[in-house]
Amino acid sequence: MDRPVCIVKGMSTERPQGSARERLLAAATELFYAEGIHTVGIDRVIARAGVAKASLYSTFGSKDELVRAYLEDRAAARRTRYTERLARHADPRDRILALFDLLAESVVSPSYRGCAFMNASAEGPRDESPVTQVARDTRSWVRGLLIELAREAGAGDPERVGRQIVLLYDGAAIGAAMDRDPAAVVRAREMAATLLAGACPAPAAAP
């Protein structure tokens, strides 16, 4: 799940540094995640980034393309975080549960607003928009990862088990955000552990 943007009293007061593209993307990431894609107008992003309006259009072309870049950047960051956390564990069941641990670290932040891709999809149209496509690709990657981990864990039906884990993960993220209840992730992790214990054979004992 997505790591929240660091916000001081609801919003960072420091201007982003770097190139115009980097500054625009940093401003969009902060504002879009905290307040919503449709709520934040392009003028606020430009002011937050401290660049001329022409810089946005020469760099991204439109707000839609800035939104796409924002979501693609978050997707890449998510893949990196997941990969780094999974590398800490050898057992596939532990690797699955480690993703819940990663989520638990995110939801305790006051700036946590849920999954950026769920939020963007809820705001966006139900067609082949940039938002829809990036969110769909990201969810497909996560689903495929969990199905593969369930297969490695020895699940008889890894497709079913992987999709069940996705539902638990999604429910934990939504519950933590809407109810302001970080314990939702702990409960979902316990349910995932029970599911895996029943669906996957125990690892063989060392001789």
Assign domain 70-199 to its CATH architecture: Orthogonal Bundle (1.10)
**What residue ranges of the chain are covered by domains with CATH 1.10.10.60?**
18-61
Query: For residues 7 and 110, what is the distance between their CA atoms, to the nearest angstrom?
Result: 9
The per-residue pLDDT for 207 is: 47
At residue 4, does pLDDT exceed 50?
A: no
What's the token pair of residue 136? 């769909």
Query: For residues 71 and 29, what is the distance between their CA atoms, to the nearest angstrom?
Result: 8
- The CATH number of the domain covering residues in 18-61: 1.10.10.60
The per-residue pLDDT for 203 is: 62
Q: Which of 14-28, 36-50, 104-118, 136-150 has the lowest mean pLDDT?
A: 14-28
The per-residue pLDDT for 21 is: 94
Segment 110-120 shows an average pLDDT of: 90
Cα–Cα separations (whole angstroms), residue 130 to 62, 68, 73, 188: 12, 6, 13, 31
For residues 125 and 199, which has the higher predicted lDDT (pLDDT)? 199
**What residue ranges of the chain are covered by domains with CATH 1.10.357.10?**
70-199
Please report how many Cα atoms fall inside a 13 Å half-sphere around the Cα of residue 165, on the Cβ side.
Answer: 34
At residue 16, does pLDDT exceed 70?
A: no
The per-residue pLDDT for 5 is: 43
Q: Could you read off the pLDDT of 50-93 as tens digits, one per residue?
A: 999 999 999 999 998 999 999 999 999 999 999 999 999 999 99
Place of tokens 């302001």: 180
All residues at 6 or more sequence positions from 34 whose CB lies less than 8 Å from its CB, including other chains: 5, 7, 10, 11, 111, 113
Q: Is there a contact between 112 and 177 (Cβ–Cβ < 8 Å)?
A: yes
Query: For residues 72 and 74, what is the distance between their CA atoms, to the nearest angstrom?
Result: 5
Q: Could you read off the pLDDT of 174-199 as tens digits, one per residue?
A: 999 999 899 999 999 999 999 999 99
Segment 117-125 shows an average pLDDT of: 82
Q: Could you read off the pLDDT of 141-178 as tens digits, one per residue?
A: 999 999 999 999 999 999 999 999 999 999 999 999 99
